């Protein structure tokens, strides 16, 4: 799937960059290819994740989980996999854990507020979590992403009052995203210490 997406991206990039100077093509082609591949891969994954929810008549719950994921993980970051299949399985696990976990979460107002406070605290401490794709962020960029992440969390919190019927799914997905972020931080620190050991 990754190879097919890369071919589509390369074909589009050649048409888009045609007519520009060679130096300009080299500068922007890789960025365009990366963006197109990322968009195509994410769209394909989300469509594949959606199918089981449609089959069991839970499309609305899927949309709520997707909205929550979009307004949290995009700014926070999390575990990244090296292949399309591994990433798809990882995404499927997150969605189904959030879906089934929604049946067991107590949705009293205190728990809901606590989950959102933890979300904001994690954003302030860790966001954005670096990955192999984006290993470094400038201080200015980090600050900007943190602000947007907090704004997104506030928007999600306000939206939750209008989606209170599905608040258990929103909270469950937030918990899954938070655990995923924690795992990503632990993995990154482990890799850092392993690399430090090799250098020594």
pLDDT digits (tens, 9 = 90+) for 168-185: 999 999 999 999 999 988
DSSP one-letter code for 130: P
Weakest-pLDDT range from 37-41, 53-57, 64-68, 131-135: 131-135
The pLDDT confidence band at residue 167, using thresholds 50, 70 and 90, is very high
pLDDT digits (tens, 9 = 90+) for 58-96: 999 999 999 999 999 988 888 878 788 888 999 999 999
**Whole-number pLDDT of residue 116:** 96
Whole-angstrom CA distances from 57 to 23, 53, 128, 147 are: 52, 6, 35, 36
Question: How much is the CA Rg of the chain, to the nearest whole Å?
Answer: 19
Boundaries of every domain in the chain: 1-57, 62-199
Distance CA(1)–CA(40), nearest Å, equals: 10
Q: Which residue has the tokens 């799914």?
A: 169
Q: What is the mean pLDDT of the chain?
A: 83
């Amino acid at each position: 799937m990754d190879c097919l997406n890369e071919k589509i991206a390369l074909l589009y990039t050649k048409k888009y960059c045609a007519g520009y100077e060679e130096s300009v093509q080299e500068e922007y082609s890789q960025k365009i290819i990366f963006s197109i591949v990322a968009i195509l891969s994410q769209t394909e994954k989300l469509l594949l994740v959606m199918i089981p929810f449609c089959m069991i008549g839970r499309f609305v719950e899927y949309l709520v989980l997707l909205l929550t994921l979009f307004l949290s993980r995009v700014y926070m970051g999390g575990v990244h996999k090296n292949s399309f299949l591994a990433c798809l399985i990882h995404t499927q696990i997150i969605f189904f854990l959030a879906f089934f976990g929604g049946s067991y979460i107590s949705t009293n107002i205190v728990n809901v507020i606590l989950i959102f406070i933890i979300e904001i605290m994690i954003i302030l401490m860790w966001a954005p979590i670096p990955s192999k794709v984006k290993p470094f962020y400038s201080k200015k960029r980090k600050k900007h992403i943190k602000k947007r992440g907090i704004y997104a969390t506030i928007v999600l919190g306000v939206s939750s009052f209008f989606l209170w019927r599905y608040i258990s799914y929103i909270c469950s997905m937030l918990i899954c995203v938070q655990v995923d972020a924690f795992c990503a931080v632990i993995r990154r620190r482990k890799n850092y210490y392993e690399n430090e050991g090799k250098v020594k």
